[in-house]
Amino acid sequence: MNRKFYQKWNAFYSKVSLRYVIWGAFTLTALLGAVLMGTSFYNRFSLQLQGIVEKQNRALIEQVNNTLTSELRNIMRISDSLYFSVLKSEENVPVEEGFALLYDTNKSSIQNIALFSKEGDLLVSAPAAKLKPGVDVTKEAWFQNAVTQTENQHFSRPHVQNLFVNSKGNYAHVLTLSRMVQVPDAYEVQDGVLLIDLKYEQLESIFKNVSLGEEGYIYLVDGAGNLIYHPQQQLILDGIEQENHEKASAYKDGVHDEVFEGQHRKVTIKSVGYTGWKIVGVVSDKAAQLSTVKNIIFLIALVMSFMLILSIINSYISKKVTIPIEHLEGAVKRIAEGDLETTIEERGAYEISHLGRSIRKMKVRIKKLMEDIVREQEIQRKNELDTLQSQINPHFLYNTLDIVVWMVENEKPQDAVRALTALARFFRIGLSKGKTIITVRDEIEHVKNYLTIQKMRYKNKFEYYFEVEEEVLELSTLKLILQPIVENAVAYGMEFQDGDGEVFIKAYLKEEKLIFQVVDNGPGIMPERLEEIRAGKVVSSKKGSGIGMRNVGERIQLAYGKEYGIQIESEPDEGTCITLTQPKIAYGQEGELL
């Protein structure tokens, strides 16, 4: 039986062409190598990887916990020093001097130190400050915690400390430590509350540059599940992003598996002493990648050994197949360099010829995919532009209708008709039948209608003037780029004017560029706020968030490129000048620009 089988095998083998022998040899070798590599990889790393990642994460979280605990202990030591070495000192150290000395020593991390009576009166503060009029500190959570739980020191949630008069008009983001103390006076000892504000940036610096691998992160919650720090805290507070922080606050110290928003991940918990806070480390299961040096070296060695074996085998059989492969390699290289018109030769053994045909088909598909990608990017760019253009304040319509109602009630029908006419023209141009490009003439007309309404609303607190060169009127411009700028000039520049406010709108050509300028004589912008606006930061304040100007700049650059956009010049008490730059393009000749 064996002899008969052997004879049949020899007969079959003698008829097999060399290309099948090569195919069989490479297939068998690759298969054996893949099996060996997969088995070795699985046995060695699958058992170690999870433990290594968890150990590294726990060590990093422990390090963060130690740093945070040290910082909190330092604040508590300062609190003890103020209480026992200043307030209860037997050496009659002046309280003001003691507070000032400790503040000066630790002002890099401390924002405020203050002492209040039990009735909420400010007794001492460092640096020296006054309470804002009308502030009742007894209603503050940190004050109530100190009064109701006199034996403990209490850390608050992050908040803006706006108790004290601040000439700059800005208030610090802090965490407050408070405690009940005994305050000596000339007659008797009375109860009081000691406040120490830790700069939030000091806490933030501990977490800011710490991450668990490429996708992991660390955040901090209090015992009630409220966020104290999160790398995406503002997005979470705004409802844009989500986090499982409330559930995490109930976890005990250790590693927990959870599913959040359909994603499996591991959560490491570490409690922070004195506070009830918990440090939470989050790592997705997908993040369990090979990262240790030993594992990488082993994997490289395994791959190199596999490749060496294949190279030895290939050295005996490659001569008969190298020439067609070299031709294919040259063609593939030219394709990689962008030459999609190169010729793909289909010659050699069946496998190589088939590979040539496959590469030729792949070249055709790549060319088609590149064309599809260009079209998709064009559509995406138009969609982004439409999204940016839709961010117009709807309150303008409500305010205008309120003005009309007021005019009708006060028997001013002519003014009401004028306001409604301006409003209708305003929205007619604003809609523009869905167009994103209009003429400069229409953009100027749109702003004139807007200013007509705003002048009625502000009861002639300001005047406006247009200086528009005749040659720019029929040029094309992005729709609704002047109105947000003029709105800022009116809302924040004319707010405190009393009939002497002025807004200038200019349009002219300069070096083949279309220039718009909006100039007002308002109070101007403070230097620090001006830098935030130029940097594109959206910061809510009484002087506006800056999102309107940022959106205008983004629209211009999205449409025409980074060399165009918006420039802001302003001096306090001198006014503000906003300059918009676009290319000079005749209306109707935009082509495929947008």
Give the mean model confidence (pLDDT) for residues 277-300: 70
Give the mean model confidence (pLDDT) for residues 292-309: 67
Give the mean model confidence (pLDDT) for residues 206-214: 80
d(CA 594, CA 584): 15
- pLDDT (0 to 100) of residue 366: 80
Query: Which domains are seen in the chain, by residue range?
Result: 69-202 (3.30.450.20), 211-287 (3.30.450.20), 321-390 (1.10.8.500), 394-583 (3.30.565.10)
- pLDDT (0 to 100) of residue 400: 64
Contact yes or no for 509/516 (Cβ under 8 A): no
Higher pLDDT, 370 or 291: 370
Give the mean model confidence (pLDDT) for residues 246-262: 86
Task: List pLDDT tens digits, range 317-356.
Answer: 666 666 676 677 677 787 777 777 777 777 766 767 777 7
In this structure, the number of other CB atoms found within 10 A of the CB of residue 99 comes to 23
Going through 409-522 in order, the beta strands assigned E by DSSP cover 437-439, 462-468, 476-478, 501-510, 513-520
Q: Which residue has the tokens 């610096």?
A: 205
- pLDDT (0 to 100) of residue 195: 92
Q: Is the pLDDT of residue 514 over 90?
A: yes
pLDDT band of residue 2 (cuts 50, 70, 90) is low
- pLDDT (0 to 100) of residue 515: 94
Task: List pLDDT tens digits, range 218-228.
Answer: 999 988 888 88
Angle between helices 547-560 and 350-389 (to 10 degrees): 140
pLDDT band of residue 462 (cuts 50, 70, 90) is confident
Give the mean model confidence (pLDDT) for residues 409-426: 67
Task: List pLDDT tens digits, range 34-85.
Answer: 667 767 766 666 667 677 777 888 888 888 889 888 888 888 898 888 888 8
Element (H, E) at 178: strand 172-184
DSSP per residue over 98-109, as a string?
Answer: HHHHHHHHHTTT
pLDDT band of residue 445 (cuts 50, 70, 90) is confident
Q: For the chain, give the percent of residues with pLDDT over 90.
A: 11
Q: Which two tokens stand for residue 296?
A: 């990488």
Q: Which residue has the tokens 């002025």?
A: 502
Q: Which residues pair with 180 in a beta bridge?
A: 193
Task: List pLDDT tens digits, range 366-408.
Answer: 878 877 876 776 566 556 555 544 544 455 565 566 666 666 7
Give the mean model confidence (pLDDT) for residues 232-239: 85
Q: Is the pLDDT of residue 410 over 70?
A: no
- pLDDT (0 to 100) of residue 22: 60
